[in-house]
Structure 1
Amino acid sequence: MRDFIYAEMMIHVPVCTSKEAKNILIISNRAEKLSEEAARHNESKVTVITCNLNEVSSLADGTYDVVISEMPSDRAFFAQVNRILKVDGQFVTTHPSLDDVESNKILMTTLANYFKIIMPYNIGDGSTALFCSKEYHPTADINLQRADMLDGLSYYNCDIHPAAFAMGNYIRKEYLGIIKN
């Protein structure tokens, strides 16, 4: 997969859904491209930490509007993300393939303890990320001006954004009652 597609979709989907993405946290051991994409949002302060629960635990409560994570996740990690997100924050994370139904159902059920909206979305090569939000819906609350005003993008745009959430009927049926939209 082209790295720019992954980075653009991981960053711009949650940032362009957020009402104000002033503080963005990236949790990754290889955050260079993600950081470059986040920097396109001039109004945002970007913080990068490594995939380490102790680093996440040391962050202040209610600080971040958006958290993007490539960290392997468990209940303790999600509790920390919930703690550091603002009351209307968005969280995007990598996850097992949607074909791994049981693992994803466990993951999404855990995330449902913290987020009103949990939706997988296509990140460009047939794989998906999970979009989780405490308040805003990724297709109803997209900030079109923010999405359209980004310069120099190779993939992401305001048409790709909602289209990324389209899922086949077999996925909808398999995850009925688990995906929260």
Structure 2
Amino acid sequence: MKDFIYNEMMVHVALCTNKNPENILIVSDNADALVAEVQKHDNIPFDVIGADLSKLRELTDGSYDVVISELDSDAAILAHHNRVLKEDGLLVTTHPSLDNTDENKAIMEILGRYTKVIMPFNIGNGETALLASKEYHPTADIILHRADMLDNLDYYNCDVHPAAFAMGNNVRKEYLGIIKN
């Protein structure tokens, strides 16, 4: 089972980066903990679908500000994530370990066709997720008052948010030109 750090980071990094998240999509077969974190943000509507490409295909174009996905990423899935995102939308998605450079570079290159920013960030237990944004930068555009006003958090805060994007030189060198920040 994934711990509270994972759930808080997957949700709050995205929702405290997007200027005005009004509609969120969670793609997960086990979304309860992610939903609980989204509900800590007052009155933001959200939808949940299972990690199922056929359900993703049925969604309306440009209908979500934020997509939080635990669906394994390939070109078709990433294209659908992009399709359902609004013009300034952002995606937070799980991905293979950064040690799996070939697979990650392929994922990041696909995301680079759709987004201005692609950055891995720490989500606890030595794991990372990817944030891909069409408009907002996760460290420059953090909504501090939103991050500071959240209640009942065990880990996430406005200091952890930008710190999560710090990567060692080995990652910077390996992904030079692929990570877009």
Question: Does 2:67 match 1:93?
Answer: no
Question: Does 2:128 match 1:118?
Answer: no
DSSP-derived class of the 2:67 partner: strand
Distance 2:79 2:95 in 1: 17
Quick one: percent identity of the two aligned structures?
Answer: 61
TM norm structure 1:
0.98
Q: What's the CA shift for 1:43?
A: 2.9
How large is the Cα RMSD of the aligned pairs? 1.0
Q: What's the CA shift for 1:88?
A: 0.3
- The 5 Å alignment of 1:30-109 reads 30-109=30-109
Match of 1:134 in 2: 134
DSSP-derived class of the 1:139 partner: coil
Residue 84 of structure 2 aligns with an amino acid whose one-letter code is I
Distance 2:21 2:31 in 1: 18
DSSP-derived class of the 1:120 partner: strand
Match of 2:155 in 1: 155
Residue 87 of structure 2 aligns with an amino acid whose one-letter code is V
Residue 52 of structure 1 aligns with an amino acid whose one-letter code is D
Q: What's the CA shift for 1:42?
A: 1.1
> Which portions of structure 1, spanning 4 or more consecutive aligned residues, are displaced by more than 2 angstroms?
none
Distance 2:142 2:65 in 1: 15
Deviations 1:126-173 (A, max 9, x none): 110000000000000000011001000000000000000000011101
Residues 69 and 2 (structure 1), Cα distance of their counterparts in 2 relative to 1, 3 Å cut: closer
Distance 1:178 1:77 in 2: 19
Q: What's the CA shift for 1:61?
A: 1.2
In the alignment, structure 1 segments of 5+ residues that lack a partner are: none
Aligned length: 181
Q: What's the CA shift for 1:70?
A: 0.4
DSSP-derived class of the 2:79 partner: helix
Deviations 1:66-121 (A, max 9, x none): 00000112111111111110100010110010111111111111111111100000
Residue 138 of structure 2 aligns with an amino acid whose one-letter code is P
In the alignment, structure 2 segments of 5+ residues that lack a partner are: none
Distance 2:79 2:58 in 1: 13
Distance 1:21 1:49 in 2: 18
